[in-house]
Amino acid sequence: MPSCLTLKKSNCKNCYKCIRYCPVKAIRFSGNQAHIIGNECILCGHCFVVCPQNAKEIVDETEKVRVFLQSGDPVIVSLAPSFVANYDGVGIGAMKKALKRLGFYDVEETAVGATIVKTEYERMLREDERDIIITSCCHSVNLLIQKYFPAELEYLADVLSPMQAHCADIKKRYPNAKTVFIGPCVAKKDEAEYYGDIVDAVLTFEELTNWLKNERIELEREMDSNEESRARFFPTTGGILKTMAQDAPGFTYMALDGVENCISALKDIESGRIHKCFIEMSACVGSCIGGPVMEKYHCSPVKDYMSVASFAGTRDFNVDQPRSYELRKHFTYIEHKLPQPSETEIANVLRQMGKFKPADELNCGSCGYSSCREKAIAICQGKAESSMCLPFLKDKAESFSDTIVKNTPNGLIVLNEDLEVQQINTAARKIMNIRAASDVLGEPVVRILDPTAFLQVKNSGRSIRDQRVYLAEYKRYVEQTVVYDKDSRMLVGIMRDVTDEEAEKEKKENISRQTVEVADKVVEKQMRIVQEIASLLGETAAETKIALTKLKESITNE
pLDDT tens digit sequence for 18-44: 888 899 999 888 777 888 888 899 999
* Interval 7-19 mean pLDDT: 78
pLDDT at 28: 86
> Average pLDDT in the 302-324 region?
92
pLDDT of residue 218: 95
- 77: confidence class by pLDDT, cuts 50, 70, 90: very high
Plot region of 371 (φ>0 → left; ψ -120 to 50 → alpha; else → beta): beta
pLDDT tops 60 at residue 297: no
CB contact at 8 A, 379 and 385: yes
pLDDT classification of 335: cutoffs 50, 70, 90: confident
Q: Which helix (H) or strand (E) holds 485?
A: strand 476-485
Q: What is the pLDDT of residues 440-494, one digit of tens each?
A: 999 999 999 999 999 999 999 899 999 999 998 898 999 999 999 888 889 999 9
pLDDT, tens only, 223-269: 988 888 999 999 999 999 999 999 999 999 999 999 999 999 999 99
pLDDT at 404: 76
Name the β-bridge partners of 256. Answer: 281
Q: At what angle do helices 187-194 and 162-173 cross, to 10 degrees?
A: 50
Q: ∠ CA 167-315-90 to the nearest 5 degrees?
A: 65
pLDDT of residue 276: 95
What are the backbone dihedrals phi and psi of residue 108, each rounded to the nearest 5 degrees, phi first? -125, 160
Return the HEC string of 356-386. Answer: CCHHHCCCCCCCCCCCHHHHHHHHHCCCCCH
User: Mean pLDDT, to the nearest integer, of 122-129?
Assistant: 94
Confidence of residue 170 (pLDDT cuts 50, 70, 90): very high
66-76 confidence digits (pLDDT tens) = 999 999 999 99
pLDDT in tens, 43-53: 998 888 888 88
Q: Terminus-to-terminus CA distance in the chain, angstroms?
A: 141
Mean pLDDT score across all residues of the chain: 88
* Other Cβ atoms within 10 Å of 486 Cβ, number: 7
List CB contacts of 551: < 8 A, sequence separation 6 or more.
none
Decide if pLDDT at 518 tops 50: yes
Q: How do strand 277-282 and strand 5-7 relate by DSSP bridges? A: unpaired
What pLDDT does 339 receive? Answer: 77
Q: Give the pLDDT mean for 373-402.
A: 75
Confidence at residue 533, expressed as pLDDT on a 0 to 100 scale: 77
Confidence of residue 410 (pLDDT cuts 50, 70, 90): very high
CA distances to 505, 512, 513, 530, 532 from 518, rounded to whole Å, are: 20, 10, 9, 18, 21
Supply the pLDDT for residue 191: 96
Per-residue pLDDT band at 162 (split at 50, 70, 90): very high
Mean pLDDT of 316-320: 92
Q: Which of 6-10, 54-58, 282-286, 356-360 has the highest mean pLDDT?
A: 282-286
Yes or no: say if 224 and 232 are a contact pair by the CB < 8 Å rule. no
**DSSP codes joined into one string, 252-301:** EEEEEESHHHHHHHHHHHHHT---SEEEEEESSTTGGGG-HHHHTT---H
503 pLDDT more than 70: yes
3-state secondary structure of 35: strand
As beta bridge partners, residue 159 has 328
pTM of the model: 0.72
**Which class for 358: exposed (0-12), middle (13-18), buried (19 or more C-beta within 10 A)?**
exposed
- The mean per-residue pLDDT over the stretch 4-25 comes to 81
- Asked if residue 366 has pLDDT above 80, the reply is no
The pLDDT score that the predictor gives to residue 296 is 46
Percent of the chain with pLDDT over 70: 92
Cα–Cα nearest to 434, from 467, 471, 468: 471
Q: Are strands 56-58 and 277-282 parallel, antiparallel or unpaired?
A: unpaired
For the cut 80, the answer to whether the pLDDT of residue 522 exceeds it is: no
